[in-house]
Amino acid sequence: MESEIKETRKIRMETILRETFQPQDLLVLDVSLEHAGHPGITKDSKETHFRIKMKSDSFQGKSTVEQHRAVYEILGPEFKKGLHALEMDLSSP
């Protein structure tokens, strides 16, 4: 019997970020539990808040705002599926 692997938001985000930015370093952490009790977040809310640390050549010469906009744009569909917030530490080598 094959075990079924559920594709989580974390896995989807990691895949999208790797394919888009080809980072040298990538860390995606689910920090949803740190935000339990915040308005709009229920005890059943899962995978709503993430911390991303990423180093990519794609960010070379871009301002922090431009870097963040690029990530928000590519992860836009996840916000429509329940992602609430991202904390980002982005850089170029």
- pLDDT category of residue 73 using cuts at 50, 70 and 90: very high
Pairing verdict, β 25-30 and 85-91: unpaired
Mean pLDDT of 57-80: 96
* Contact between residue 53 and residue 17 where contact means Cβ atoms under 8 Å apart: no
Q: What CA–CA distances, in Å, run from 48 to 62, 72, 76, 79, 85?
A: 27, 14, 13, 9, 7
Inform me whether the pLDDT recorded for 60 exceeds 80.
yes
Give pLDDT tens digits for 45-55: 568 889 999 99
